[in-house]
Amino acid sequence: MPDEKDLLSMLKKEGFSAYAAETYLALLTIGRADGRKLASSTRVPFSKVYSVLKELEENGLVIKESARPAMYRPVDPNEAFEMLKRKRIYEESARLEALARALSPIMNKGGNVEDAKVEVIRDQEAALSRALMLIKDAKFGIKAIIPPVKEEQGKLIQLLMETLVKTGLKLQLITDKSALKFVTLEKSIEVKLISEVPLGLLMADSRSVMVMIYLGSLSTLFTDSLPLVELTDLVFEKLWEIGRDPNAATYHQRNQAFFSRLLRRAFELGDA
């Protein structure tokens, strides 16, 4: 069983503040308490404890039972995190759908793209199947971005890499240094390093694109719309230019703000 330090670390990785993580663990142990008792049982200052409890309440981890004094009890972790998972999946899906709606008008510019697809895939198995199909249908080469991933996602990356190596196609790969352990290095694979790339990408022959985001579950935006593919290709090439050779003597982390500016500039070019 993980100790308290491990549990605090796990909660922080899920986006909870240090104070929120400590307060929730204290409530699980105590069972029911007011702000004053929690402040005395943790390192959370009394001046901050109620804002921390509000954070936990909004995330569904605690329930406020009374007003004077305000008493709080923890929600069962199995129930609380199942609800939180559903909330995050819903929010992530809504963002992807909004992105798809925002990008779709680009597809019709110039009147030279017909029957193009813009598709949101929320199921991990369906996304993996589509990615494998994308690789197998490629004729000339693959471009890919691998963000920092956990072990369970790393297995999927390894499967995709094995499939790619079998095709013998050229691969240009941008990845975070920590994800290199999941990459099979072959002569046909060129690698550039960029720190903490925020999303995954798979592009076949510069004609089909999958953009992958992982936030509790995998969601994927697939398109073969030429303007969107060209826009993505432009972003990839700019990132490739600033990427670092993994065999270089030193590795300098790149400013993540540059990536945000680059994406913003690419979308501006797409609207031009």
Enumerate residues 6+ apart whose C-beta is below 8 A from 133.
none
Confidence at 157, pLDDT banded by 50, 70, 90: confident
Domains of the chain, by residue range, sit at 4-78, 92-271
Instruction: Please report, for residues 83, 113, 211, 212, 249, the alpha-carbon distance to residue 255 in angstroms, rounded to integers and kept in the order given.
Output: 35, 36, 21, 21, 19
pTM to 2 decimal places: 0.49
154 or 199, higher pLDDT:
199
pLDDT the model gives residue 254: 44
Report the distance separating Cα 25 and Cα 177, nearest Å. Answer: 33
Q: What is the mean pLDDT of residues 20-43?
A: 88
In this predicted structure, the answer to whether residue 233 has a pLDDT above a threshold of 60 is yes
Q: Domain 4-78 is in which class?
A: mainly alpha
Q: Residues 168-188: pLDDT tens digits? A: 888 888 887 777 777 767 767
Task: Please provide the average confidence, as pLDDT, over all residues in the chain.
Answer: 78
Q: Residues 105-123: pLDDT tens digits? A: 766 555 554 466 788 887 7
Q: Residues 119-133: pLDDT tens digits? A: 888 777 788 888 888
- Element containing residue 19 per DSSP (H, E): helix 18-30
The answer to whether 4-78 and 92-271 have equal CATH topology is no
Q: What is the CATH number of domain 92-271?
A: 3.30.870.10
